[in-house]
């Protein structure tokens, strides 16, 4: 079954599936606006779907899959893929960093939209960033990648779990004393209007929450997740109509970068919750790729860096994998 249909009595329609968080809805709106501009006669229908990760906020994010018995699925995509498989939706819109590197053969990553900033943002109630936190300060995050980098850069700090959507996390920092600081993706803060697109040279504050101070962490010092800042469009593998729609709004430079980043994760056999930071930079026709891989048993990370032709992202990823030391 494919809900993208056309008949003499009705215009074509395409169903876009999304999670219901504020950020997910903004990303769905961006996708729908691009589709409308590319296909003015196409009717776009939105289906908001609650996922396992949205339901299970009672346990740490890296324990959700174990608690739900969905070891082979990303906890924020399972129900969206079920809707794709049944034909209830045609395109699933994801924060790409939530999408596993190895997809079931029934599904394909068809395209990615132009990437937002990839950096992590450090938020605290006092200015000065990570360096200004006193020993023993508590930093909240649900990401093992962020947690391991904090523990490596500032072993004197305490990392504690932080769940909830972006507005909830901001309230937890601003209104409780559970956390002294938290880490969030810059892309989400920009897309939701909490930060301007252009970073200031000094400490910034969150729009609407002026008591919270922000430092955007340089990606070469605090490595982001593979695919961070990118919106991914997933389809049924054999759905040519939906693929054509997705590819029409895709962004080729972002595709080259995320292909290399995700291939590096695949070579590592790393999942969404493995402590790996990897980022890419596209300079002309050259792709620069760097990674920081933390052993699951603890200890300092392996670090790698490479560069190569942007047209061969899989080879660049393989070279990065082989460069780890």
Q: Is 121 helix (H, G, I), strand (E, B) or coil?
A: strand
Residue 62, token pair as written in the block: 């890296």
Is residue 66 very low, low, confident or very high in pLDDT (cuts 50, 70, 90)?
A: very low
- Residue 272, pLDDT score: 56
In whole angstroms, what is the distance from residue 78 CA to residue 149 CA?
A: 28
Q: Check residue 7 and give its pLDDT.
A: 46
Predicted model pTM? 0.88
Q: Which residues are catalytic?
A: 98
The residue that leads in pLDDT, 102 or 320, is: 320
In angstroms, what CA-CA distances link 13 with 16, 26, 36, 42, 247?
Answer: 10, 21, 11, 6, 17
Q: Indicate whether 195 pLDDT > 90.
A: yes
pLDDT at 269: 86
Q: Is residue 294 packed enough to be buried (19+ CB in 10 Å), middle (13-18) or exposed (0-12)? A: buried
Domain with CATH 3.30.160.40 in the chain: 265-323
pLDDT at 298 > cutoff 90: no
Can you give the pLDDT at residue 65? 44
Question: In the predicted model, what is the mean pLDDT of residues 156-184?
Answer: 95
The CATH code of the domain at 120-217 is 3.40.190.10
Q: How far apart are CA 128 and CA 108, in angstroms?
A: 43
In CATH, the number for domain 265-323 is 3.30.160.40
Given a cut of 70, is residue 59 above it in pLDDT?
no
Q: What is the DSSP letter of 131?
A: G
As a whole number of Å, the end-to-end CA separation of the chain is 49
Categorize the per-residue pLDDT at 10 as very low, low, confident or very high, splitting at 50, 70 and 90. Answer: low
Residues of CATH 3.40.190.10 domain(s) within the chain? 5-113+230-250, 120-217
Confidence at 58, pLDDT banded by 50, 70, 90: very low
pLDDT at 150: 96
Identify the CATH number of the domain defined by range 5-113+230-250: 3.40.190.10
């Amino acid at each position: 079954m494919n809900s993208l249909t056309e008949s003499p009595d009705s215009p074509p329609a395409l169903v876009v599936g999304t999670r219901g968080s504020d950020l997910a809805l903004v990303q769905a709106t961006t996708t729908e606006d691009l589709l409308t501009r590319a296909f003015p006669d196409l009717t776009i229908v939105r289906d908001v779907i609650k996922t396992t990760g949205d339901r299970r906020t009672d346990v740490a994010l890296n324990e959700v899959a174990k608690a739900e018995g969905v070891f082979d699925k990303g906890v924020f995509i399972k129900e969206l893929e079920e809707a794709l498989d049944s034909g209830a939706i045609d395109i699933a819109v994801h924060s790409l960093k939530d999408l596993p590197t190895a997809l079931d053969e029934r599904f394909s990553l068809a395209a990615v939209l132009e990437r937002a900033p990839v950096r992590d943002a450090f938020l605290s109630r006092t200015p000065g960033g990570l360096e200004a936190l006193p020993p023993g300060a508590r930093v909240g995050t649900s990401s093992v990648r962020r947690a391991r980098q904090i523990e490596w850069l500032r072993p004197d700090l305490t990392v504690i779990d932080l769940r909830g959507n972006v507005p909830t996390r901001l309230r937890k920092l601003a209104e409780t004393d559970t956390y002294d600081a938290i880490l969030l993706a810059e892309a989400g803060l920009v897309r939701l209007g909490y930060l301007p697109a252009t970073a200031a040279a000094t400490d910034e504050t969150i729009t609407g929450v002026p008591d919270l101070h922000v430092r955007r962490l340089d990606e070469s010092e605090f490595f982001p997740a593979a695919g961070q800042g990118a919106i991914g469009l997933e389809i049924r593998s054999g759905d040519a109509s939906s693929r054509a729609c997705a590819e029409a709004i895709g962004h080729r430079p972002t595709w080259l970068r995320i292909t290399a980043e995700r291939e590096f994760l695949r070579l590592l056999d790393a999942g969404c919750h493995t402590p790996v930071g990897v980022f890419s930079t596209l300079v002309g026709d050259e792709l620069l790729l760097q990674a920081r891989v933390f052993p699951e048993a603890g200890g300092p990370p392996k670090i790698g860096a490479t560069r190569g032709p942007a047209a061969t992202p899989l080879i660049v990823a393989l070279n990065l994998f082989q460069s780890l030391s």
